[in-house]
Amino acid sequence: MEVVIMLCESKIIRMNPKYRIIKYNNDYFMVDTISHWITFLFPMINWFVPKRYAKLSEEEYNNLDIVKPVKNSGASIGAGLAILISALLRNYVNIFNIQIQKSVAVLSCVIGFLGVFIFFLYINKKVTLDIYKRNKTHSKIILIPTFKNFGFTIFFYILFGGFSWMTFYGLVIENLYNIFIFIAWIGIISGFFFSICLRLWIKKYISF
């Protein structure tokens, strides 16, 4: 089996971050970066794991609404806005404190998490393209992230994951249930999943 490492140009489809379009010389490949639900929880699975791809003709490539990945993604802007809003509303947070049983707090958090997770799974299914299904091959490639992508992914994974856990701990373990904090926690989880869709910038891939 021949293994070849190649530099490539990576692009995305407008309003559809599910796929990465790889251009190498005159070849065009479409890779599904969210092919499994576990990707939402562990985005690093996209690195160095063989993935099947669809091979596109030049005409099919030109018919897609292709754009370059925006490296200044909404995830960093969202994180900044969340910090700003929390600072402005700090003096009013206690107004939303309520007393509930720990079991109710756990149940509400589970329902909230599953609701966000199912919503993103639904969106992921809705943006699936027939052209990928038609042109899917049995060959595989391994996507190699840029160093910047590696660093940003780890940073946002720790940032959103850490904030999510600390908020969950406060809501459930410390019994500090607060409607405003609960809504913020849902927003953090949504930002976590959304950032995963945007955090794969590719410069190299391995074909075999």
| In the chain, where the domains are located | 9-199
Instruction: Tell me which H or E stretch contains 20.
Output: strand 16-24
Rounded percentage of the chain residues whose pLDDT exceeds 90: 3
- Which of 174-181's residues contact partners 24+ apart within 8 Å by CB, and which partners? 175/102, 175/105, 176/97, 177/97, 177/98, 177/99, 177/100, 177/105, 178/93, 178/94, 178/96, 178/97, 178/98, 179/96, 179/98, 180/89, 180/92, 180/93, 180/96, 181/93, 181/96
pLDDT, tens digit (0-9, with 9 covering 90-100), for 55-114: 888 888 888 877 665 554 544 555 555 555 555 555 555 555 666 677 888 888 899 999
Distance CA 200, CA 178 (A): 35
pLDDT, tens digit (0-9, with 9 covering 90-100), for 123-168: 888 888 888 888 888 888 877 777 777 787 788 788 878 888 888 8
